[in-house]
Chains A and B, each alone.
Chain A
Amino acid sequence: MNKLLEVRNLSLTFSDDDNPVLKNVNLEVKNGQKVGLVGESGSGKTTLGLSISRLLPSKSKILGGEIFFNDSNILKLSEKDFNNLRGNEISIIFQDPMNSLNPLMKIGNQVIEIITKNLKIDKKSAKNLVLSTFESIGLKDPEYVYNSYRHQISGGMCQRILISMAIICKPKFLIADEPTTALDVTIQKQIIEILNKLSKENNMSLLFISHDLAIINNISDYIYVIYKGVIVEHGKKENIMFKCKHPYTKQLINSIPKMENKGKKLSVSNRLEINNLDYKEYLCPFRSFCPNKIDYCYKQMPDELEIENEHYVRCFNY
């Protein structure tokens, strides 16, 4: 499989005197691959997604690193060239579907905008394309939805609309930032199915971001685990789910409710917020909470180690 997206040594900060939000992040997505990015909230997942789509707030500052999409450096492209990529080849779905739709514009008009920009077709066939996409994604009454406003439809429908919007121009790469977090469980499952199906049918690569490893497990081929801006472990889904090495990943996996543990207490990690100065140095971010920490953890950042084929970990214990 060919590389589609490659993030190399990306570091990013929101304010110079604060700890960087992303530290030396490396990430790779191949053609047609479904990559999951998991980590607790505040770990920098959204920031990473936004930097790939170049939608970072203006006060953010990239300290170093490159992002390649199809061998062109995204961070160096002109606004105009990148606009051609965005929407057409790279698309994104945000966490909160309700806030992603403009309250004062009809749904249909919002979806059609992306078509008129990227595909050269007339209004009538654009509308038909929207209606058929709505239908294919499981929206019951497409014509009604087309003419509605945001407040007239449910959260699940909203997210389906956003997915339609994201995939209507058949992008090669879709970033889904917690697309199911705001939805209830049955709808979550349907959305995951839709994304799986779309990825397969259109050979679309996916970067699926979530704080929930159980959901990530349902959708990805490859998993990255991020903690406080550092990728602590990554590997093929099976390697992460069954043979994870990093103490942080182990905690994440233990916190998934399982049938055989029914009735037992969930393992919840108890952590005090450590002061900011502590992160400032380039060290393993998990060291203060780690059950297996060693002296070395306080001296330098461990290098990424290839444990086995398609399985890497950043930890001095290995």
Chain B
Amino acid sequence: MKKYLKNFNFTCGLIIVITLFLMCIISLFYIPYNYTEMNYEDILQSPSIKHIFGTDNFGRDIFSRIMQGSKTTFLISFFSVLISSTIGIFLGSFMGYYGGIIDKVFSKFIDVLMAFPSILFALVIISVLGSNITNTIIVLGILSVPRFARLTRSSFIQGKNLDYVKLAKIKGVSNFRIIFVHMLPNFKMPLIINASFSFALNVLSEAGLSYLGLGIQPPEPSWGRMLKESQNYLQQAPWYVFFTGFIIFILALGFNLLGDGINDILEEK
């Protein structure tokens, strides 16, 4: 752990992610202002002691809305990474381990998925299924499956020729146990790195979808939609767009740094 903390990228990333995650946790219990109630006396106030990030066009505290929005962001990113990693790891490990026809069929399937422009895919699915949190999670989850599957597949293709894997086969250990007990724990690092990058990507994609009006519906605040709304007040209230954009940027940066840091540390070894 010491070695990890010495790495600048890793430590920065960790601090950013933990800070924002704490904010998300705190928002479960306490948010300074009501984030839906409109308050026409306080419209578009600049940042002050009272409203540290200022207020928006309905006089709502921007910081409170960002706090509330962080719940959505973390919820969506977490569950979409969970879905994509689970499916991707299962698929990839079977493809890599068994090879042959299983590998061919799913490789083609994944190629097709990757060939599809992701924003188009999201547009189609969400227009058909309707826009809500669950569907956003599903769409973002499916979109990251190929990267997890490919990564796992390549680890397993190399890994199945390792001596201890061959030995496990000789011992008569079941394929299932070889895959999940003998092999997977040894190949977890690249997957963890990829999960961290996927988190960053999903934060941005969720914001992107909400920005297009395909994500979370009002009155629930979402960072992406806040960014869109803030655009209209770019001149009167530049802090609105600044803080909203900054928070999205910083969270994505945090996860990217985290992934980079782990990668650096592993390469040093």
- Please report which residues of chain A, range 62-113, place their CB below 8 angstroms from some CB of chain B when the two chains form the complex: 83-84, 86-88, 91-92, 94, 96, 99-105, 110, 113
Report chain A residues within 8 Å CB of B169.
55, 86
Cβ-defined partner of B171 (8 Å) among A58, A84, A104, A117: A117
Expressed in whole angstroms, the minimum distance between the Cβ of B35 and any Cβ of chain A is 46
A196 at the interface (CB under 8 A from B): no
B134 at the interface (CB under 8 A from A): no
A165 at the interface (CB under 8 A from B): yes
Per the bound structure, the CA–CA distance linking A99 and B168 in Å amounts to: 12
Q: Is the CB of A105 within 8 A of B170?
A: no
B4 at the interface (CB under 8 A from A): no
Q: Could you say which of B166, B168, B169, B170 has the most chain A C-beta atoms within 10 Å of its C-beta?
A: B170
Interface string of B156-199 (1 = CB under 8 A from A): 00000111101111111100000001100110000000000000
Q: Is the CB of A104 within 8 A of B172?
A: no
Q: Is the CB of B173 within 8 A of A117?
A: yes
Expressed in whole angstroms, the minimum distance between the Cβ of B157 and any Cβ of chain A is 10
Q: Is the CB of A117 within 8 A of B186?
A: no
Interface string of A200-211 (1 = CB under 8 A from B): 000000000000
Main secondary structure of the interface of B (DSSP, over half): helix
Report chain A residues within 8 Å CB of B173.
113, 117
Report chain B residues within 8 Å CB of A92.
167, 170
* Interface bracket on B: 10 to 19
Q: Is the CB of B164 within 8 A of A101?
A: yes
Nearest-neighbor residue (CB-CB) of B161 within chain A: A57
Known interface pairs A57-B161, A103-B186; A94-B166 also in contact (CB < 8 Å): yes
A53 at the interface (CB under 8 A from B): yes
Per the bound structure, the CA–CA distance linking A114 and B164 in Å amounts to: 13
Report chain B residues within 8 Å CB of A94.
163, 166-167
Cβ-defined partner of B172 (8 Å) among A57, A99, A100, A114: A114
Report chain A residues within 8 Å CB of B172.
83-84, 86-88, 114, 117-118
Could you list 20 A-B pairs, sorted by A, with CB under 8 Å? A55-B170, A57-B161, A58-B100, A83-B172, A86-B169, A86-B170, A87-B170, A88-B172, A91-B170, A92-B167, A92-B170, A94-B163, A94-B167, A105-B182, A110-B164, A113-B173, A114-B171, A118-B172, A162-B167, A165-B171
A105-B181, A114-B171 are known; give 4 further A-B pairs, CB within 8 A.
Answer: A53-B170, A57-B161, A87-B170, A94-B163
- A interface vs B, CB < 8 Å? 53, 55, 57-58, 83-84, 86-88, 91-92, 94, 96, 99-105, 110, 113-114, 117-118, 162, 165
Closest 6 CB pairs of A and B: A114-B171, A117-B172, A100-B163, A99-B163, A102-B164, A87-B172
